[in-house]
Amino acid sequence: MFITVIAVLCHLSVGQPVCSEEIVTDSDSNKDLTLLSCAVGAQAALAQWKAADPTYRSEDYWISRYKCVPGHPGTRARA
């Protein structure tokens, strides 16, 4: 089954949090990714991804939540 990991990242804008969804990885890129492994162990991978991403590694952004989605979610809008 194809799995996609999506992070919901937020930052403050005019005192209000603004959040957006970003695709972190999928089972095409990570052959060991399953729905169970995503649900159990995605936090460490998300922290590494955030630290390496030039846009989101700033302390201004935080990961509000993440989703393990079966299939290809396509383009995502605001959370």
Residue 39, in any domain of the structure: yes
Which range of residues forms the domain containing residue 7? 3-70
pLDDT of residue 74: 65
Residue 79, in any domain of the structure: no
Cα(64)–Cα(78) distance, integer angstroms: 13
Q: Indicate the SS3 state at residue 73.
A: coil
Per residue in 22-55, pLDDT (tens digit) is 999 888 888 888 889 998 888 888 999 999 999 8
What predicted TM-score, i.e. pTM, was given to this entire model?
0.81
Instruction: Report how many domains make up the chain.
Output: 1
Residue 75: CB atoms within 10 Å: 6
Among residues 6, 3, 2, which one has the least CA distance to residue 75?
6
